[in-house]
Homo-oligomer: A and B are copies of this chain.
């Protein structure tokens, strides 16, 4: 029988190593951390929480829970053109959760810290009778005044999106047994739900070229609406250009009504951004170098803030109370 570590023991054993390489964390031995922001840079700060039963499933592997919690925040930093720097963590778990779960949770963080170049700066752990809740505040650096806003889109811009759209929402439908697909497609779609792929490697290119950007968490349609409204412009996305994975394409062919999940399901954690058409070549090259798919899917126009998705017929796809349908 191994003696449980207790809160201090867990912090020392599992979380202290996650501060390696970030001296401002003082190895979690002080009341606070220090963040040194270099001259000419600003700190971009974002906070997102994930909750068992809402953003992940109670039985999900703890490594994946940790990585998802970190990655939804990294996705926000990437969309704003910021380079990851450090994060703080609040972990609320039940008193009955064993040390082994916490160890695996921390190992998930360690893996992603190495992948994305970010370190733990501090945090808090509390015992809760409620579901596992992980809140992260992530901090990144941008050149002063260069954070990419939602509100900078200009008439004439091309609308770009990274990766593929809809996989995560379809993956959740599979996990909830509301959708049946082949074993290979199931593996791909559920992995996309469990583990977002923040596009941090494109942060620099986005910071250089994008006029406006948003990470897609509410769904492509809704987040495009947010971007157009914030920018005071109108925009159109062409439905046939929206990048879909082969798995999502197969789902859609079998049941066209799944389009609503794809456009409105959310949790894509891809970046939707606008940039002038003359940046297209440089953006394509950056995306190719980083191995990230990048697709031009629409354009921005002047005029009152209106966002539309135009179907293959040339008519707008419209949202009714039952979800998205072809007009």
Contact = CB atoms under 8 A, between A and B. Distances in A.
Interface of A: 26, 29-37, 39, 42-51, 53-55, 76-77, 79-80, 82, 88-90, 92, 121-124, 126-131, 133, 135, 137, 139, 142, 144, 147, 149-151, 214-215, 230
A31 B150 contact: yes
Contacts of A151: 29-30
A79 B133 contact: no
20 contacts: A31-B150, A32-B77, A32-B147, A34-B42, A34-B44, A34-B45, A35-B37, A35-B43, A36-B144, A37-B43, A43-B43, A45-B139, A47-B123, A49-B92, A51-B92, A51-B127, A54-B128, A55-B126, A88-B137, A130-B130
A45 B121 contact: yes
Given A129-B130, A135-B90, A45 B29 contact: no
A200 to B, nearest CB: 14
A133 B126 contact: yes
Contacts of A77: 32
A34 B43 contact: yes
A62 to B, nearest CB: 18
Q: How often does this chain occur in the complex, in copies?
A: 2
B30 A45 contact: no
A34 to B, nearest CB: 5
A33 B49 contact: no
Given A34-B43, A47-B124, A51-B128, 10 more contacts: A30-B80, A30-B150, A33-B46, A34-B45, A35-B42, A35-B44, A36-B43, A45-B139, A54-B127, A124-B135
A132 to B, nearest CB: 9
Contacts of A54: 126-128
B82 A47 contact: no
